[in-house]
Structure 1
Amino acid sequence: MIDRLVVLGATGDLNARYLLPALAALRAAGHLGDGFELTCADRQDWTEEEFRHWACAQLDRHAPEEWHEVKKAIAGAARYRQADATSAADLAPLVAGDGPVAVYLALPPAIFPGTIAALGAASLPPGSRIVLEKPFGEDLNSAVELNRLLAEVVPEQAVFRVDHFLAMTTVQNVLGSRLANRVLEPLWNSAHIAEVEIVWNETLTLEGRAGYYDGAGALKDMVQNHLLQVLCLVAMEPPLSLGERDLRDRKIDVLRSVRPLTDDDVVRRTRRARYLAGRIGDRDVPAYAEEEGVDPGRRTETYAEVELELESWRWSGTTFRLSSGKALGDDRKEVAVRFRPVPHLPFGHSGRAEPNVLRFGLEPETMTLALTGIGSGTRTLAPLTLSARMDESGLPAYGRLLLDILEGNAALSIRGDEAEEAWRVLEPVMSAWSRDLVPLDEYPAGSHARA
């Protein structure tokens, strides 16, 4: 297990909200000892004491209140260095030392190429690992180039392209529910499933992320970055094991089976929109184009929807709909598996049987199954819902990711060819949207209907 972590971009939102609390969780669970070394670096001209004060404030805000000693230990042990992430001279002293180091690029994706080149020139110790937060590149060509740069610095098994969605308990439970229950797997195909909907709709707006989001939009930020990964787990063939090679091979099979979209397909099967001024709960929200840091001329979408079909024996005839939107009236974050209706109802006119729907709630982590039964004391068909709430995991998603990185378990990391294949799936959509073949619709912030 590696016991040295360097975080580049350490004064940013990712370190504040996720990495520092994840390290605290690992420490609280006994995974990190006193010998663990944390080095944080960024362009900010801070002293070590100023950084520790900031880190304490972030841990107080984002980690459990009762972890007083744990939070104090994490912040107190952190070293801070001012550094340019694209300068080999600045990075060399950060990675120097005995034994391998894990370097986490908590940076804007545009800086990745320069940082990777600088790490190559900084002489990483043997066995070191490079961690990149997705999205991995901005399109297929940039992903191919990033893979080429990484291959010059470290072997593929030392590259961790992380996606915290894959570490969420419910996302992993999609596999568990399928593969550990005989009642589901025989039905997990197009003969029984009409549609799978993978949704991440949220009431949140930009929340200070305009600098990144306005250059990405909902399609890259959520659909390409996260929802395609969930699709892989939903649609993959049963792997021989959940080991690194078996799991990744089956995931890329899914991406390769996606039927390529033509321009006509994109026009019929995709939608994009952005929010106008409106009201969400008790707060007024300005139009996206008026948000601070937004360039209206970019025509960035805040809602994206894509329908895909898989050309495979198991899934031919099933529709997969991936969608994500911001500034909506309700949070809806789930995988909804919609089964086909039964072929015959022997109940006459006693009611209507809605198709069964199995829902995996991603946030909060729940599972519900909508069935049809007989109403109490009657012979009339009535809806019946079975529900369960997942037990809270001992580690947050980023805690599980960091533990995998330090232990060298790459099963939940995105392999290089998989990262490229994910871009291939959506390149036709990006191309058609850039040519305005699909209009940029608008919806009021706080909308409750589908955007």
Structure 2
Amino acid sequence: METTSTDKTSAENTGAGTTGMESIGTLVVLGATGDLTSRLLLPGLGRLLTEQPGRRIRLIGADLAPRDSQQWADTVRAAFDSVEATGPAVDHVLAHAEYLVTDAASAEDLQQVLASATGIPALYFALPPAVTAQAIAALHEVALPEGTVLALEKPFGVDRASAAALNRQLASLVEEDQVFRVDHFLGKSTVLNILGLRFANYLFEPLLNRDHVAKVEIVYDEQLGLENRAGYYDRAGAMVDMIQSHLLQVMALVTMDAPQSVHATDLRAAKTEALRAVRPFGGDPVAASRRARYTAGTIEDRRLPSYVEEHGVDPERDTETLAEVTLESSTWRWSGVPFTLRSGKALGAARRDIAITFREVPHLPTGLDGHLEPTVLRLCLKPDAMVLELNVNGPGDPFVLDRGRLTADFGAGRLNPYGEVLHGLLDRDPSLSLSGAAAEHAWGVVDQIRAAWQSGQVPLEEYPAGSPGPQNWQS
């Protein structure tokens, strides 16, 4: 049985803010010549402006590379063309695009950039974490226009201590609701799909607790290898790149209590409380974690070298390309339920879902036979869909059970993930942004596990590229 939901994501055509506050007047991209900007940020902006032809913003690119405003406009146009962005808002941005050669760590340069902005500015730090930290330090010597918004890419810090220090620096610059800690992985459509399924359906929510759920798996496995990302990935690994930055946020959406509303204050508070309760399963980070990295292998028709032979990789770092951690939420609702978070690269099959496995039936009436497994509610990510796997009477002999699947396609939003992030940013709506406290709690969980790894208590295993992972991990 298949059903398709209607597309509930709409984008305002007027460009008016959804929070009742004045929208951003100038978007400043620090790191304008980087890959993140051209590959993700600008195409997302193009889609947003196409959906909102009435929005008017100025776009300033700022970076060390020697460019002029025409070259910057050409870069923006190419990115917009890649998503077929058109309309008055797109034309306005292209006509008024400006580029300033800028050292992001220089207070003088940053002051010059802000002096060129009109209206309320948003500074988007499309920069490496170390440079972002230097830029934030420099901003303390700059007169920030009232309402200035700061948008930071993950990872937010490198551990709990550095995240806390960065939070203190930001708090001395602007209010918390003016800080956007960006997680493009959870675009607004995905967040609302999960919340809608949980809190708008009486069928599911009463069952999502320790009495009925046996385990939860949150998995993001990729077939892609390193893809020339050694500069970042070799220092982050799968744990920081996916589990700390993204999958813990997904876990928070599954375990959180119902917020009063889906507005920023209520939603962020509920997610923060959910993350506060997360800990390694059984309080044992050694037994609750595994790590591995890929060796040479073949994925479909692609031959991949061993990770340690990839360009830019330092084998002495012992960077993992596959990480798996089992966590629990120390709350009345979820205590004792294992949540397994896993992400890896160069695996034989891609898998992106949340699998909620319910407990087995306490007794199967005599006379019923066949294929009997626990019921599984599977929420697929990118594209978003729901699959309910359950036992039904099979065709032919009605006494023989078979496996059935009920599926529902949530439907894609009109905006891509970065378009949704920028929609919230330009409207000064931090609903999709991680709070400072939540970022610290997420690092606290990961720090415990990485300490166990660094002490040598959790071995770094290996798996051939194109395989499901280490052989002894297969259940």
Using the size of structure 1 for normalisation, the TM-score is: 0.94
Structure 2 unaligned spans of 5+: 1-22
**1: distance between equivalents of 2:87 and 2:298?**
38
Alignment of 1:142-221 (within 5 A): 142-167=162-187, 169-221=189-241
Show CA shifts across 1:246-274 (max 9, x none): 21222122222223578x82221100111
8 Å Cα contact 1:285-1:445 kept in structure 2? yes
1:13-52 to structure 2, matched below 5 A, reads: 13-30=35-52, 33=55, 35-52=56-73
CA shift at 1:71, angstroms?
5.9
The structural deviation recorded for 1:239 is 1.1
| Cα 1:394–1:12 shift into 2, 3 Å | same
Is 1:298 the counterpart of 2:298? The answer is no
Q: Say whether the 8 Å CA contact 1:232–1:251 is kept in structure 2.
A: yes
**2:80 matches 1:59:** yes
Q: Deviations over 1:158-211 (max 9, x none)?
A: 111111122152343111101000101110101111111111111111222111
Does 2:303 match 1:288? no
1:41-440 equivalences in 2 (<5 Å): 41-61=62-82, 63-64=83-84, 67=86, 74-96=93-115, 97-167=117-187, 169-259=189-279, 265-348=284-367, 350-379=369-398, 380-440=400-460
CA distance in 2, matches of 1:73, 1:407: 18
Give me the whole-angstrom Cα distance separating, in 2, the residues matched to 1:76 and 1:293.
Answer: 39
Alpha carbons of structure 1 residues 354 and 128: separation in structure 2 relative to 1, 3 Å: same
Moved more, 93-102 or 309-318: 93-102
Letter in 1 for 2:251: L
Q: Is the 8 Å Cα contact of residues 215 and 300 (structure 1) preserved in structure 2?
A: yes
**Cα distance in 1, alignment partners of residues 349 and 277 from structure 2:** 33
- Displacement after TM superposition at 1:50 (Å): 2.4
Q: How big is the shift at 1:354?
A: 0.8
Cα separation, 2, equivalents of 1:75 and 1:144: 38
Could you tell which deviates more after superposition, 441-450 or 286-295? 441-450
Q: Please give the secondary structure, in 2, of the residue aligned with 1:101.
A: strand
User: Which shifted more, 318-327 or 344-353?
Assistant: 344-353
Q: 1:6 is matched with which residue: 7, 28, 38?
A: 28
Offset at residue 69 of structure 1 (A): 7.8
Distance (Å, rounded) in 1 between the aligned partners of 2:444 and 2:451: 11
Q: What SS class does the counterpart of residue 395 from structure 1 fall into?
A: coil
Secondary structure of the 2:343 match is strand
Aligned pair count reads 447
Cα distance change on mapping 1:12 and 1:435 into 2, 3 Å: same
Q: What is the CA RMSD across the aligned residues, in angstroms?
A: 1.9
Query: Which residues of structure 1 form unaligned runs of 5+?
Result: none
